[in-house]
């Protein structure tokens, strides 16, 4: 255990680590395609509301549990429950979180593998001079090729686990912090380019004109799940990072900074991608392939496009890398808590995640006609249920534990926002966040 219990050296290091976990595929890949499938502005509005009312307060709850417990998630929960005179069964919440991040990591690695493929193809100049139709067709051809997909999935998993095995993410975090601003800059350039396209007006109207008619129960459920996913909340993954937090640092300030950045990145990606969609007359509801088709089209029209595209995918990979490390960390920490050495634990996680990820790889070829639930392939299922159901359920239990079970003094200290900050947080979690998750989950499941 002590092996994993380092401390972030500075307050800034903590914020940057949480930002690294937050900003990833959720912002640049998932946000645009979910918005496209869920009625545009209706989804955007709900997602922002859920970030404020649920994401932020529950994120604080999750991190403060880790900070107060200073152990791996399962052990922290058991320890704190004991302190409060509550049942040690709370530790199963940690295991539930681990199951959730395990499933998320399995497809995260596959989709990040798509970015590796697209990085290499961009370096080779493969998209130069292609029509939007050709770019779309080559994405479908790639999906239908399990060998190429397996190769990239394997490579990405190895990249992730080699950092996790080393135990210290120092090197990667440094690289991340150095290079992420460049990704934001590229997104700004892309959004700037988007302003000049014919589709920009339509994209902005579609994203920002209120459209309450598009709000359905499933849109609400999807938006709630996405708010948890994009902030990396609800799976006890940030709990593991909270355990390494310094003693004096205001939690609300730290998480607010992360949320602002996370939403900004998603908005920039959305504006860039939907401007291309509307200028090319494409379908915004195209699904998970959206980013992989629109971005090559957009960059193809910019001077030096092939290089910019390559740099973009490289930076995106870096962003997904720091997120996947956060996904893997609680799984490895839990196995370590069960007595395994870090190297063994990492190898075991690697094999298991790889195998389950293969079901996603094959969902586009050999297993395309295998339906796991309704019409859903394994990939459809694993990209929705853990995010839309498991994360909110985990977040709900985390919120109940922090706001109703933990002793007041422990929470006040771990939140580090003074007595008034504590009261505001507690009232929000008790009377807004918890009822809201319950209402959305119950109506979504019925």
Strand partners, 376: 373
For ligand PHE, give the closer residue by CB, 43 or 200: 43
Binding mask 104-133 for ligand PHE (x = CB under 6 A): x-----------------------------
Name the residue nearer to ligand PHE (CB basis): 27 or 334.
Answer: 27
Stretch that binds ligand PHE, among 229-237, 246-254, 302-310, 359-367 (CB under 6 A): 229-237
Q: Which does 21 bind (CB under 5 to 8 A by kind): Na ion, ligand PHE, none?
A: ligand PHE
Q: Which residue is nearest to ligand PHE (CB)?
A: 26
Question: Rule CB under 6 A: which of 304-333 touch ligand PHE?
Answer: 323, 326-327
Report H helices in 338-385: 342-362, 378-385
- Helix, strand or coil for residue 332? helix
Q: Which of 13, 15, 21, 403 binds ligand PHE (CB under 6 A)?
A: 21
Cα(185)–Cα(159) distance, rounded to whole angstroms?
25
DSSP 396-420: HHHHHIIIIIS-HHHHHHHH-SHHH
Is 25 near ligand PHE (CB under 6 A)?
Answer: yes
Q: What is the DSSP string of 371-400?
A: -SBTTB-HHHHHHHHIIIIIHHHHHHHHHH
Stretch that binds ligand PHE, among 18-26, 156-164, 166-174, 190-198 (CB under 6 A): 18-26
Contacts of 88 (CB under 8 A, 6+ apart): 78, 81, 82
The DSSP code for 280 is: T
The token duo for 20 is 């690294």
In the complex with ligand PHE, the residue whose CB is nearer, 49 or 204, is 49
Does 230 help bind ligand PHE (rule: CB under 6 A)? yes
Question: Which residue's CB is nearer to Na ion, number 62 or number 262?
Answer: 262
The β-bridge partners of 136 are none
> How many Cβ atoms are within 10 Å of 442's Cβ, its own excluded?
9
Backbone Cα Rg of the chain = 21
Name beta bridge partners: 373.
376
**Residue 386 touches ligand PHE, criterion: CB under 6 A:** no
382 binds ligand PHE (CB under 6 A): no
Nearest residue (CB) to ligand PHE, 107 versus 401: 107
Residues near ligand PHE, by CB under 6 A: 21-22, 24-27, 101, 104, 229-230, 232, 235, 237, 323, 326-327
């Amino acid at each position: 255990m002590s092996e994993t219990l380092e401390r972030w050296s500075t307050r800034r290091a903590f914020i940057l680590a949480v930002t690294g976990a937050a900003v990833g595929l959720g912002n640049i890949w998932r946000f645009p395609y979910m918005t496209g499938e869920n009625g545009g502005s209706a989804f955007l509005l709900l997602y922002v509301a859920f970030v404020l009312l649920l994401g932020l307060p529950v994120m604080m709850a999750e991190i403060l549990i880790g900070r107060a417990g200073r152990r791996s998630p399962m052990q922290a929960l058991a320890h704190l429950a004991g302190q409060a005179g509550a049942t040690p069964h709370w530790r199963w919440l940690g295991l539930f979180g681990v199951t959730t991040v395990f499933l998320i990591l399995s497809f995260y690695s596959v989709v990040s593998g798509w970015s590796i493929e697209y990085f290499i193809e961009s370096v080779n100049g493969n998209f130069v001079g292609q029509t939007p139709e050709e770019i779309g067709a080559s994405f479908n051809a790639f999906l239908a090729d399990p060998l190429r997909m397996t190769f990239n999935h394997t490579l990405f998993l190895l990249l992730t686990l080699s950092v996790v095995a080393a135990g210290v993410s120092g090197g990667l975090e440094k690289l991340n912090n150095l290079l992420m601003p460049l990704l934001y800059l590229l997104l700004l350039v892309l959004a700037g380019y988007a302003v000049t396209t014919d589709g920009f007006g339509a994209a902005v109207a579609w994203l920002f004109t209120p459209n309450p008619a598009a709000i359905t129960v499933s849109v609400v459920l999807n938006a709630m799940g996405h708010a948890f996913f994009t902030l990396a909340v609800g799976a006890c993954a940030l709990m593991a990072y909270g355990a390494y937090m310094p003693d004096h640092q205001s939690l609300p300030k730290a998480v607010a900074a992360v949320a602002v950045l996370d939403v900004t990145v998603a908005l920039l990606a959305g504006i860039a991608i939907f401007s291309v969609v509307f200028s090319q007359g494409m379908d915004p509801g195209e699904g998970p392939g959206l980013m992989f088709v629109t971005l090559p089209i957009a960059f193809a029209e910019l001077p030096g496009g092939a290089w910019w595209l390559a740099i973009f995918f490289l930076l995106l990979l870096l962003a997904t890398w720091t997120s996947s490390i956060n996904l893997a960390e609680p799984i490895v920490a839990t196995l370590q808590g069960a007595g395994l050495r870090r190297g063994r634990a990492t190898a075991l996680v690697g094999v298991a995640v790889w195998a389950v990820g293969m079901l996603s790889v094959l969902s586009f070829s050999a297993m395309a006609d295998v339906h796991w639930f309704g019409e859903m392939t394994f990939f459809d299922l694993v990209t929705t249920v853990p995010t839309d159901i498991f994360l909110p359920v985990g977040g709900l239990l985390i919120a109940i534990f922090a706001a109703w079970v933990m002793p007041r003094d422990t929470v006040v200290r771990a939140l580090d926002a003074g007595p008034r900050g504590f009261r505001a947080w507690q009232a929000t979690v008790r009377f807004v966040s918890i009822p809201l998750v319950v209402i959305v989950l119950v109506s979504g499941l019925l």
